[in-house]
Protein backbone atom coordinates (compact mmCIF):
# COMPACT_ATOMS: atom_id res chain seq x y z
CA UNK A 1 0.00 0.00 0.00
CA UNK A 2 -0.48 2.30 -1.82
CA UNK A 3 -1.63 0.09 -4.69
CA UNK A 4 -1.56 0.80 -8.43
CA UNK A 5 -5.23 1.04 -9.41
CA UNK A 6 -4.43 1.13 -13.12
CA UNK A 7 -2.99 -2.37 -12.87
CA UNK A 8 -6.29 -3.83 -11.66
CA UNK A 9 -8.60 -5.68 -14.01
CA UNK A 10 -11.42 -4.81 -13.91
CA UNK A 11 -10.73 -1.24 -12.86
CA UNK A 12 -12.43 -0.02 -9.65
CA UNK A 13 -15.64 1.87 -10.37
CA UNK A 14 -14.68 4.85 -8.20
CA UNK A 15 -15.70 6.13 -4.77
CA UNK A 16 -19.13 7.43 -5.79
CA UNK A 17 -19.89 4.20 -7.65
CA UNK A 18 -19.17 1.69 -4.87
CA UNK A 19 -22.52 -0.03 -5.43
CA UNK A 20 -21.48 -1.12 -8.93
CA UNK A 21 -17.81 -1.79 -8.15
CA UNK A 22 -16.43 -5.29 -8.63
CA UNK A 23 -14.36 -4.77 -5.48
CA UNK A 24 -17.26 -3.84 -3.22
CA UNK A 25 -17.39 -7.40 -1.90
CA UNK A 26 -14.14 -8.89 -3.16
CA UNK A 27 -11.85 -5.95 -2.48
CA UNK A 28 -9.20 -5.35 0.15
CA UNK A 29 -8.33 -2.35 2.36
CA UNK A 30 -5.50 -1.55 -0.07
CA UNK A 31 -7.87 -1.31 -3.05
CA UNK A 32 -10.68 0.61 -1.32
CA UNK A 33 -8.34 3.08 0.36
CA UNK A 34 -6.39 3.76 -2.84
CA UNK A 35 -9.66 4.37 -4.69
CA UNK A 36 -10.79 6.77 -1.97
CA UNK A 37 -7.71 8.97 -2.13
CA UNK A 38 -7.11 8.76 -5.91
CA UNK A 39 -7.27 12.19 -7.48
CA UNK A 40 -6.94 14.07 -4.22
CA UNK A 41 -4.51 16.95 -4.54
CA UNK A 42 -2.08 17.97 -1.82
CA UNK A 43 -2.73 21.56 -0.65
CA UNK A 44 -0.47 24.12 -2.29
CA UNK A 45 -0.92 26.54 0.63
CA UNK A 46 0.10 26.34 4.30
CA UNK A 47 -2.03 23.89 6.30
CA UNK A 48 -3.21 23.73 9.91
CA UNK A 49 -0.78 21.74 12.06
CA UNK A 50 -3.72 20.25 13.98
CA UNK A 51 -6.13 19.07 11.24
CA UNK A 52 -4.36 19.64 7.93
CA UNK A 53 -6.94 22.07 6.57
CA UNK A 54 -5.62 24.92 4.43
CA UNK A 55 -5.31 28.07 6.56
CA UNK A 56 -6.44 31.55 5.57
CA UNK A 57 -4.23 34.51 4.69
CA UNK A 58 -3.76 35.23 8.41
CA UNK A 59 -2.63 31.69 9.16
CA UNK A 60 -5.88 30.74 10.92
CA UNK A 61 -7.66 27.40 10.46
CA UNK A 62 -11.33 27.60 9.41
CA UNK A 63 -12.10 24.85 11.93
CA UNK A 64 -12.85 26.74 15.14
CA UNK A 65 -11.51 24.31 17.74
CA UNK A 66 -8.08 24.01 16.14
CA UNK A 67 -7.38 27.54 17.37
CA UNK A 68 -8.58 27.31 20.98
CA UNK A 69 -6.19 26.84 23.89
CA UNK A 70 -8.23 24.09 25.57
CA UNK A 71 -8.58 21.84 22.53
CA UNK A 72 -7.74 18.65 24.50
CA UNK A 73 -7.00 16.50 21.43
CA UNK A 74 -3.48 16.55 20.00
CA UNK A 75 -4.33 16.33 16.32
CA UNK A 76 -6.82 15.19 13.71
CA UNK A 77 -6.06 12.64 10.99
CA UNK A 78 -8.14 12.74 7.79
CA UNK A 79 -8.54 9.70 5.54
CA UNK A 80 -9.33 11.58 2.33
CA UNK A 81 -9.13 15.15 1.05
CA UNK A 82 -11.93 14.34 -1.41
CA UNK A 83 -14.41 15.71 1.11
CA UNK A 84 -17.59 15.82 -0.99
CA UNK A 85 -17.25 12.31 -2.44
CA UNK A 86 -16.38 10.90 0.96
CA UNK A 87 -19.28 12.73 2.60
CA UNK A 88 -21.74 11.37 0.03
CA UNK A 89 -20.65 7.81 0.84
CA UNK A 90 -20.94 8.45 4.58
CA UNK A 91 -24.32 10.16 4.13
CA UNK A 92 -25.76 7.23 2.18
CA UNK A 93 -24.60 4.87 4.90
CA UNK A 94 -25.54 7.02 7.89
CA UNK A 95 -28.81 8.62 6.78
CA UNK A 96 -29.86 6.55 3.77
CA UNK A 97 -29.07 3.42 5.76
CA UNK A 98 -27.21 1.70 2.93
CA UNK A 99 -25.76 -0.52 5.59
CA UNK A 100 -23.84 -2.75 3.24
CA UNK A 101 -21.48 0.20 2.69
CA UNK A 102 -20.12 -0.62 6.15
CA UNK A 103 -17.71 -3.14 4.68
CA UNK A 104 -16.32 -0.63 2.19
CA UNK A 105 -15.97 2.07 4.86
CA UNK A 106 -14.33 -0.39 7.24
CA UNK A 107 -11.79 -1.36 4.58
CA UNK A 108 -11.11 2.31 3.84
CA UNK A 109 -10.39 2.95 7.52
CA UNK A 110 -8.01 -0.02 7.73
CA UNK A 111 -6.32 1.05 4.50
CA UNK A 112 -5.61 4.47 5.98
CA UNK A 113 -4.24 2.97 9.19
CA UNK A 114 -1.97 0.63 7.23
CA UNK A 115 -0.79 3.43 4.95
CA UNK A 116 0.19 5.45 8.04
CA UNK A 117 1.28 2.52 10.21
CA UNK A 118 4.60 4.05 11.26
CA UNK A 119 2.78 6.91 13.01
CA UNK A 120 -0.58 5.41 13.96
CA UNK A 121 0.72 2.17 15.44
CA UNK A 122 1.84 4.30 18.39
CA UNK A 123 -1.76 4.59 19.62
CA UNK A 124 -2.78 1.99 22.19
CA UNK A 125 -6.53 1.97 21.47
CA UNK A 126 -8.84 3.01 18.62
CA UNK A 127 -12.33 3.77 19.90
CA UNK A 128 -15.52 5.22 18.43
CA UNK A 129 -17.11 8.58 18.99
CA UNK A 130 -19.98 8.31 21.47
CA UNK A 131 -23.43 7.68 19.98
CA UNK A 132 -26.62 7.32 22.02
CA UNK A 133 -28.85 4.46 20.84
CA UNK A 134 -31.37 4.31 23.69
CA UNK A 135 -35.18 4.75 23.56
CA UNK A 136 -34.96 8.51 22.95
CA UNK A 137 -32.35 8.22 20.18
CA UNK A 138 -32.59 9.91 16.77
CA UNK A 139 -31.45 6.60 15.24
CA UNK A 140 -31.38 3.19 16.86
CA UNK A 141 -28.06 1.91 15.54
CA UNK A 142 -24.44 2.81 16.23
CA UNK A 143 -23.14 3.38 12.71
CA UNK A 144 -19.57 4.01 13.90
CA UNK A 145 -19.42 0.70 15.73
CA UNK A 146 -20.74 -1.09 12.64
CA UNK A 147 -17.87 0.39 10.58
CA UNK A 148 -15.31 -0.51 13.24
CA UNK A 149 -16.55 -4.09 13.43
CA UNK A 150 -15.93 -4.38 9.69
CA UNK A 151 -12.54 -2.71 10.13
CA UNK A 152 -11.66 -5.18 12.88
CA UNK A 153 -12.49 -8.04 10.49
CA UNK A 154 -10.20 -6.65 7.78
CA UNK A 155 -7.50 -5.38 10.13
CA UNK A 156 -7.43 -7.70 13.15
CA UNK A 157 -4.00 -6.49 14.21
CA UNK A 158 -5.24 -3.00 15.04
CA UNK A 159 -6.33 -2.25 18.66
CA UNK A 160 -9.98 -1.45 17.99
CA UNK A 161 -11.91 -0.84 21.21
CA UNK A 162 -15.33 0.63 20.31
CA UNK A 163 -17.50 2.12 23.01
CA UNK A 164 -14.93 3.43 25.49
CA UNK A 165 -16.95 6.65 25.67
CA UNK A 166 -20.65 6.46 26.61
CA UNK A 167 -23.42 8.95 25.89
CA UNK A 168 -26.35 8.90 28.31
CA UNK A 169 -28.98 10.57 26.15
CA UNK A 170 -29.75 12.40 22.90
CA UNK A 171 -28.34 15.85 22.19
CA UNK A 172 -29.07 18.45 19.55
CA UNK A 173 -28.13 17.46 16.02
CA UNK A 174 -25.13 19.24 14.50
CA UNK A 175 -26.10 18.84 10.84
CA UNK A 176 -26.79 22.15 9.14
CA UNK A 177 -26.44 24.50 12.13
CA UNK A 178 -24.01 27.32 12.84
CA UNK A 179 -20.65 26.94 14.62
CA UNK A 180 -22.03 28.97 17.54
CA UNK A 181 -24.96 26.56 17.92
CA UNK A 182 -22.64 23.57 17.66
CA UNK A 183 -20.48 24.98 20.43
CA UNK A 184 -23.49 25.64 22.66
CA UNK A 185 -24.73 22.05 22.29
CA UNK A 186 -21.25 20.55 22.72
CA UNK A 187 -20.35 22.50 25.86
CA UNK A 188 -23.82 21.98 27.37
CA UNK A 189 -25.87 18.92 26.47
CA UNK A 190 -23.02 16.83 25.04
CA UNK A 191 -20.56 17.51 27.85
CA UNK A 192 -23.17 16.51 30.44
CA UNK A 193 -24.03 13.30 28.57
CA UNK A 194 -20.50 11.90 28.11
CA UNK A 195 -18.70 9.50 30.43
CA UNK A 196 -16.03 6.79 30.44
CA UNK A 197 -17.67 3.74 32.09
CA UNK A 198 -14.41 1.80 32.51
CA UNK A 199 -11.67 4.35 33.20
CA UNK A 200 -9.17 1.60 34.00
CA UNK A 201 -9.14 0.74 30.29
CA UNK A 202 -7.93 4.20 29.26
CA UNK A 203 -5.52 5.18 32.07
CA UNK A 204 -2.11 6.00 30.64
CA UNK A 205 -3.18 5.07 27.10
CA UNK A 206 -2.80 6.98 23.85
CA UNK A 207 -6.24 6.86 22.25
CA UNK A 208 -7.42 7.49 18.69
CA UNK A 209 -11.12 8.43 18.45
CA UNK A 210 -12.80 7.50 15.16
CA UNK A 211 -15.70 9.59 13.84
CA UNK A 212 -17.19 10.12 10.40
CA UNK A 213 -16.65 13.84 9.68
CA UNK A 214 -14.79 16.74 11.30
CA UNK A 215 -16.50 20.11 10.90
CA UNK A 216 -15.49 22.45 13.71
CA UNK A 217 -14.08 19.99 16.25
CA UNK A 218 -16.50 20.60 19.12
CA UNK A 219 -17.58 16.96 19.47
CA UNK A 220 -14.03 15.63 19.35
CA UNK A 221 -13.01 18.24 21.90
CA UNK A 222 -15.61 17.00 24.40
CA UNK A 223 -14.72 13.35 23.85
CA UNK A 224 -11.03 14.12 24.29
CA UNK A 225 -11.86 16.06 27.46
CA UNK A 226 -13.71 13.16 29.08
CA UNK A 227 -11.01 10.64 28.13
CA UNK A 228 -8.24 12.82 29.54
CA UNK A 229 -10.23 13.35 32.73
CA UNK A 230 -10.48 9.55 33.01
CA UNK A 231 -6.69 9.27 32.83
CA UNK A 232 -5.81 8.90 29.13
CA UNK A 233 -2.30 10.08 28.28
CA UNK A 234 -3.23 11.52 24.86
CA UNK A 235 -6.24 11.72 22.56
CA UNK A 236 -6.27 12.28 18.81
CA UNK A 237 -9.01 11.91 16.21
CA UNK A 238 -9.39 10.19 12.84
CA UNK A 239 -12.22 10.94 10.40
CA UNK A 240 -13.10 10.10 6.83
CA UNK A 241 -13.22 13.77 5.78
CA UNK A 242 -13.15 17.37 6.94
CA UNK A 243 -16.34 19.11 5.90
CA UNK A 244 -17.85 22.37 7.10
CA UNK A 245 -21.44 21.86 8.18
CA UNK A 246 -21.23 18.08 8.07
**Residue 43, pLDDT score:** 65
- Are 218 and 52 in contact by the 8 Å Cβ rule? The answer is no
**Residue 59, pLDDT score:** 85
- Are 168 and 154 in contact by the 8 Å Cβ rule? The answer is no
Q: What is the pTM of this model?
A: 0.94
**Residue 245, pLDDT score:** 57
Could you tell me which CATH class the domain 5-242 is placed in?
Answer: alpha beta
Write out the chain's pLDDT in tens, 246 residues.
568 888 899 999 988 899 889 998 888 999 999 999 987 766 678 999 999 988 988 888 988 899 899 999 999 999 999 999 999 999 999 888 788 899 999 999 999 999 999 999 999 999 999 999 888 877 778 999 999 999 999 999 999 999 999 999 998 887 778 888 989 999 999 999 999 999 999 999 999 999 999 988 999 999 999 999 999 999 999 999 988 755
Domain map (residue ranges) of the chain = 5-242
- What does each C-alpha distance from 50 to 77, 105, 149 come to in angstroms? 8, 24, 28
**Residue 4, pLDDT score:** 85
**Residue 137, pLDDT score:** 78
Amino acid sequence: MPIDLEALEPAPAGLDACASCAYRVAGTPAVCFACTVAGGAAPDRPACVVCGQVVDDHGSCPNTVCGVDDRYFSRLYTVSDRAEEMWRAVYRFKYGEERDLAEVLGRILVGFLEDNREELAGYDLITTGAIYVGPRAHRLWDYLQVIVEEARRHGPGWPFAPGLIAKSGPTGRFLGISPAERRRIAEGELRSALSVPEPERVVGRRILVFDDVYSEGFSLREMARVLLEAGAAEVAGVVFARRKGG
